[in-house]
Structure 1
């Protein structure tokens, strides 16, 4: 079993990213994003690869000069439990620090995972308003949402 290698996504990775995320989108755990939307934001994505295969990814989406969000975190089901998700999040946090951001947020159903990485729960009402209308409105669970909002101060 090889160890995951982490890298920035390329446009040529989009189709494989879309294939990997299908089960999570269908279950409602992750929002669907068009290939065009991923292409527009390709610099936000960090990949985990094993033997050239994408086994996970996440995006660091910047909302303001002080705040970014970790979103679209997915790890291939057969690769879970090997700290690949943690590696992705830690790389996104390091990128946020390098960019000079002050806080990173996450909206998630996996509260404990993020708390183990130093995130703390915050009221959803404290989220930037544009987040709700830009992303949440696209979700099949909107407006009755069980996601937890968490934040990490850098």
Structure 2
């Protein structure tokens, strides 16, 4: 099966929310409202199957001129094992490099995926405070975070 990585439109948001809903219910990914997703629509990358169906997506969130985060990485269960997670993350890395960020961080339960792409595990204490107070505080696991923090430096 072939997949194309594209930038989404606002019309993709309902299907994106449906795809991520299982991971949100399981506490793997933070829920984003339609308005939050619309506001950040330019940060997303979609993997689209030949059928036109969204197979997965992720976002590159910019914190500052030097730091970004890969977030909301999800691949539909029926499309897993096709390397889409790696392709989406690599596209986000490439975009971060093009924009000129110096570091990209992520919080994940799948550290090996990111390590294969050159990320190194770091202590969560190195995360910016605004990450914790803007995002982490919304998590059902807060303050007992069991995700792994990783960073890639250019």
- TM-score between both structures, scaled by the size of structure 1: 0.98
RMSD over aligned Cα atoms: 0.6
Name the count of aligned residue pairs: 153
Unpaired segments ≥5 residues, structure 2 = none
Structure-1 separation of matches of 2:112 and 2:35: 32
Q: Aligned equivalents of 1:64 and 1:123: distance in 2? A: 20
Q: For 1:107-149, what per-residue CA distance to the aligned partner results, in whole angstroms no more than 9, with x for missing partners?
A: 0111111111110011100100000000000000000010010
For 1:92-107, what aligned pairs fall within 5 Å after superposition?
92-107=92-107
Number of the residue aligned with 1:120: 120
Local SS of the residue matching 1:71: strand
2:56 paired residue number: 56
CA distance in 2, matches of 1:116, 1:134: 28
Determine whether 1:14 maps to 2:13: yes
In the TM superposition, structure 1's runs of 4+ consecutive aligned residues that sit over 2 Å from their partners are: none
What's the CA shift string for 1:67-109, capped at 9, x where partnerless? 0000000000011111001000000000001001111000011
Question: Where does residue 132 of structure 2 map in the other structure?
Answer: 132
